[in-house]
């Protein structure tokens, strides 16, 4: 039953990504050219509502339906890992024109070439696990 | 407008993405689309190679269910809810055609010049897709999150590390599009 809920949420997310064109290579390219407000509007409006909603959750001490704690733990402090990791991610985001969510959405939409990007992302994740100890965090 | 068939404007899509984040929070999880890659590595036995993958990935199976849902969502949206074209700023479209001979803006969802099966006969394009994915996977784990985990979840929770990561995303993206693209394409 719980699995159905996660699949349903994922499906809803996938439809939003595809229909908003956030999964389109063209929209990512256009965003990095500051050619349209579209992508900034999506991220900005999601964020504005997200900030308000999480303030409300914390203020009212709302709990998930199973009564556990909200997964809102603060991120570990640091600069290097976020900046360097972020830059590497951004290079890949612009090169492939897709970030992790849209990759799966595009696979479902039938773009077989995106499987190469997903394979690359798995290899990249694996490589990070291998050399993590030697990287500044 | 025909809300099923036409592209959804930002003021519909953005709030719906916030809704996805809240739905996941209220079922006791969090919104982040890259940690499933770590779960997938662990499920394939990467724990033998690195402690980073030695964790109870079965407790993270929900993450893989969300991925399965996203795949289904992409299938439904592209087959039943879209004509699979994307209109962008005409100036950007002209620049793409002029500088990179990518003339498919307004006619397709992804440029066939890079993503069509025929384009894969060019080893350079395969390399681009592979390297792009590799950087996304490596960078997301190094930074501890991607666009959803940092730009939406982390920033919504007013996390400074997420702000640093998102600034990094844009430094990387702008470098790639404005400095590196002209050299490689």
CB contact under 8 A, A16 and B16: yes
With an 8 Å Cβ cutoff, are B68 and A18 in contact?
A: no
What six digits make up the tokens of B22?
Answer: 């809240």
pLDDT band at B4 (very low <50, low <70, confident <90, very high): confident
CB B141 within 8 A of CB B34: yes
B62: phi then psi, degrees, rounded to nearest 5: -55, -35
B14 in helix, strand or coil?
helix
Q: What is the pLDDT of residues B14-65, one digit of tens each?
A: 999 999 999 999 999 999 999 999 999 999 999 999 999 999 999 999 999 9
- Looking at residue B139, its pLDDT comes to 98
Locate tokens 């030695």: which residue? B54
pLDDT digits 0-9 by tens, B122-164: 999 999 999 999 999 999 999 999 999 999 999 999 999 999 9
- Residue B6: count of CB within 10 angstroms of its CB: 12
- Alpha carbon distance B164, B147 (integer Å): 12
B69 touches chain A (CB under 8 A): yes
User: Cα distance from B145 to chain A (closest Cα, Å)?
Assistant: 9
What residues contact residue A98 under an 8 Å CB cut-off, 6+ apart?
A23, A25, A28, A106, A114, A117, B132, B136
Chain centroid to CA B124: how far? 21
Q: Judge: B156–A54 Cβ closer than 8 Å, yes or no.
A: yes
Say if residues B105 and A26 touch (Cβ distance below 8 Å): yes
Q: Tokens 């290097």, residue? A: A80
Q: What are phi and psi of B103, to 5 degrees?
A: -110, 15
| Interface predicted TM-score (ipTM) of this complex, two decimals | 0.97
**Longest alpha-carbon distance in chain A:** 46
Nearest CA in chain B to A88: B139
Q: How far is CA A132 from CA B46, B50, B108, B135, in A?
A: 14, 9, 39, 15
**CB nearest to A108's CB, from B70, B120, B156:** B70
Number of other CB atoms surrounding residue A77 within 10 Å: 8
Q: Which of A13, A42, A25 is nearest to B77 (CA)?
A: A13
**pLDDT value, residue B76:** 98
Q: How many C-beta atoms lie closer than 10 Å to residue A2's C-beta?
A: 12
A70-113 residue pLDDT tens: 999 999 999 999 999 999 999 999 999 999 999 999 999 999 99
Report the alpha-carbon distance of residue A91 to residue B134 in Å, rounded. 10
Instruction: Determine whether the interchain pair B115/A113 forms a contact, defined as Cβ–Cβ distance below 8 Å.
Output: yes
Per-state percent for chain B, helix, strand, coil, to nearest 5: 70, 0, 30
Using a 10 angstrom Cβ sphere, with 0-12 exposed, 13-18 middle and 19 or more buried, the burial of residue A113 is buried
The rounded distance, in Å, linking the Cα atoms of B88 and A121 is 27
CA within 13 Å, CB half, B58: 0
A80 touches chain B (CB under 8 A): no
- Quick check: A6 contacting B, CB < 8 Å? yes
Q: What is the pLDDT of residue A2?
A: 84
- Report whether B183 contacts A35 (CB < 8 A): no
Predicted pLDDT at B137: 98
The pLDDT, as a whole number, for residue B8 is: 96
pLDDT at B1: 63
């Amino acid at each position: 039953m719980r699995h159905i809920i996660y699949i349903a949420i994922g499906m809803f997310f996938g439809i939003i990504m595809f229909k908003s064109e956030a999964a389109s290579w063209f929209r990512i390219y256009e965003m990095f050219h500051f050619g349209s407000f579209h992508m900034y509007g999506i991220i900005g409006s999601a964020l504005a509502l997200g900030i308000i909603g999480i303030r409300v959750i914390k203020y009212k001490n709302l709990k998930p339906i199973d009564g556990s704690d909200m997964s809102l733990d603060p991120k570990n402090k640091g600069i290097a890992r976020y900046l360097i990791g972020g830059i590497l991610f951004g290079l890949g985001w612009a090169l492939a024109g897709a970030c992790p969510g849209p990759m799966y959405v595009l696979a479902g939409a039938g773009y077989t070439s995106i499987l190469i990007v997903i394979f690359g992302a798995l290899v990249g994740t694996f490589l990070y696990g291998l050399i993590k100890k030697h990287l500044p965090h | 407008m025909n809300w099923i068939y036409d592209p959804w404007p930002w003021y519909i899509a953005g709030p719906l993405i916030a809704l996805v984040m809240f739905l996941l929070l209220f079922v006791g999880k969090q919104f982040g689309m890259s940690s499933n890659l770590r779960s997938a590595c662990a499920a394939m036995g990467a724990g033998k190679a690195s402690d980073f993958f030695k964790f109870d990935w079965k407790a993270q199976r929900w993450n893989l269910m969300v991925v399965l849902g996203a795949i289904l969502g992409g299938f439904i949206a592209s087959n039943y809810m879209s004509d699979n074209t994307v209109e962008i700023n005409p100036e950007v479209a002209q620049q793409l055609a002029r500088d990179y001979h990518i003339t498919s803006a307004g006619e397709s969802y992804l440029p066939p010049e890079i993503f069509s099966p025929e384009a894969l006969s060019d080893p350079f394009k395969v390399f681009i897709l592979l390297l792009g994915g590799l950087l996304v996977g490596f960078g997301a784990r190094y930074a501890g999150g991607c666009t959803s985990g940092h730009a939406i979840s982390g920033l919504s929770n007013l996390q400074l590390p997420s702000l640093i990561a998102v600034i990094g995303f844009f430094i990387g993206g702008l470098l790639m599009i404005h400095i590196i693209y002209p050299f490689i394409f």
